[in-house]
Structure 1
Amino acid sequence: MSNRPFNLNADLLLRAYRLGLFPMAESRRSRALHWLDPEARGVLPLDGFHIPRSLMKTVRSQRFAVTADVDFPATIAGCAAARLNRPETWINAEIERLFIDLFRIGFAHSIETWENGRLVGGLYGASLGGAFFGESMFSTATDASKVALVHLVARLRLSGYVLLDTQFITAHLARFGAMEIPRATYHALLAEAVGVSARFNAAPDAALLEREIEAMRRLG
């Protein structure tokens, strides 16, 4: 199903997510949005997240400074930007506007990775109850988006989330334990998750965050 983004606002977007729908545009320049509810949905189990050994070394090295909700607009702009290996994206100006509005009212969050004071990677998504809907990530430095994903999962676990929706499965996400589930199964999980009271903790205690990441490494 598709439509032009007429009078679409943050509240309507949240209603769509509650129903299992999410928007995509055909291109960065497109004005129309397509609403998707795929037969197979990608999810990343929070209790089965796998951190590859080489990535764990990067996380421990503290090569990147990692923040959350510090620069949401720059993060979504980074995800929307064209790159040599990805000349076109599905994030148009309308999606960018809607998610910045969601962020301003507390229903969207970003993880940012910095190197020498420069934003080099990150991700963003929507949040509703105990469900987090991962939208997109970007990286201009090796492993920057992967480190952001590790920190996202750690914060979600610490904050009481129960569902991380990745929408689709990629080889990149499969390395971390992402899997596909049938639409009906996803809708059942979603209905439970949105009723969970979870509060995104953008800046947890550093020692607590480090222990959570170590616990994730052992579980995975």
Structure 2
Amino acid sequence: MSSVYWLDPDKPDFPPLSAALQEPNGLLAVGGDLSPERLLAAYQSGIFPWYEDPQPVLWWSPDPRAVLFPNKVHVSRSLRKVLKRGELRVTVDTAFRRIISGCSTLDQSRTGTWITREMLNAYIQMHELGWAHSVEVWRDQTLVGGLYGIGIGRVFFGESMFSRESNASKIALVALCEKLQSLGVELIDCQVGNPHLFSMGAENISRQLFAEHLQRLIGTTPKPQQWGLS
């Protein structure tokens, strides 16, 4: 840990991605806060926070990086049948607090209570500012799954998803890809891949290529977007 860069609490600056450790893969910096300014600077640079209480904030940029191109999402035959039945309803940005709370207790891709109270409050603030978005999946009036992340320019930085019913998170991801394509978004950052994401079309690319995608897809002065109902 002594070789990791400690952030200046008064500046939202990060070291170059090349300074990230190989073990643990991608650990780049420690400290700082989860202010909107620092979070935006981090995501635009290809960096994300991931830590557990009582750790300080840990910042990561792993190599390789898992990504999903929205126009390449894989929808299996069985999932197509589920979608065709239309038993589950999808909304966008209607229950962000409930989605992030659901992810904090039913996260499928990581272990531990990594969505701390500090993170929960930070991403709710990002949602209120128009940067963070959610996709919700409902059976009647019951929330059964969904996902959330950060949208900057033509990139969506996925944070977490959950499912309380079979296929709910898959339906959320398919709906997200459809929404992103309608907005001209070309890339979903999946951070670290897992079998669930790879089965949906995610793939690994190098950290350098990921950084090149960000440079191309995020403008110099990105603005938050209001997604509204899908």
TM-score bucket (shorter structure): 0.7 to 0.9
**Once superposed, what is the RMSD of the aligned Cα atoms?**
2.2
Q: Which moved more, 1:135-144 or 1:192-201?
A: 192-201
Distance 1:76 1:165 in 2: 17
2:121 matched residue in structure 1: 97
Task: With a CA cutoff of 8 Å and minimum separation of 6, indicate the structure with the bigger relative contact order.
Answer: 1
8 Å CA contact retained: 2:71, 2:177? no
Answer yes or no: is 1:189 the counterpart of 2:213: yes
1:39 matched residue in structure 2: 63
In structure 2, the CA distance between the partners of 1:190 and 1:90, relative to structure 1 (3 Å rule), is same
Distance 1:202 1:88 in 2: 32
Distance 1:66 1:25 in 2: 30
In structure 2, the CA distance between the partners of 1:57 and 1:183, relative to structure 1 (3 Å rule), is same
1:203 matched residue in structure 2: 229
2:130 matched residue in structure 1: 106
1:122 matched residue in structure 2: 146
Amino acid aligned to 1:148: A
1:18 matched residue in structure 2: 44
SS in structure 2 of the partner of residue 141 of structure 1 = coil
Q: Displacement, 1:32? A: 2.2
8 Å CA contact retained: 1:128, 1:194? yes
8 Å CA contact retained: 1:169, 1:180? yes
8 Å CA contact retained: 1:126, 1:134? yes
8 Å CA contact retained: 2:65, 2:207? yes
Amino acid aligned to 1:11: E
SS in structure 2 of the partner of residue 158 of structure 1 = helix
In structure 2, the CA distance between the partners of 1:13 and 1:83, relative to structure 1 (3 Å rule), is closer
TM-score by length of 2: 0.81
8 Å CA contact retained: 2:145, 2:168? yes
Distance 2:97 2:223 in 1: 26
Amino acid aligned to 1:13: L
8 Å CA contact retained: 2:151, 2:157? yes
In structure 2, the CA distance between the partners of 1:200 and 1:33, relative to structure 1 (3 Å rule), is same
Matches within 5 A, 1:1-220: 1-4=28-31, 6=33, 8-26=34-52, 29-82=53-106, 88-195=112-219, 199=225, 201-204=227-230
Count of matched residue positions in the alignment of Structure 1 and Structure 2: 201
Amino acid aligned to 1:3: V
Distance 2:109 2:197 in 1: 17
TM-score by length of 1: 0.84
In structure 2, the CA distance between the partners of 1:39 and 1:115, relative to structure 1 (3 Å rule), is same
Percent pairwise identity? 37
Amino acid aligned to 1:172: H
In structure 2, the CA distance between the partners of 1:19 and 1:152, relative to structure 1 (3 Å rule), is same
8 Å CA contact retained: 2:131, 2:224? no
Distance 1:190 1:85 in 2: 23
In structure 2, the CA distance between the partners of 1:143 and 1:35, relative to structure 1 (3 Å rule), is same
In structure 2, the CA distance between the partners of 1:10 and 1:150, relative to structure 1 (3 Å rule), is same
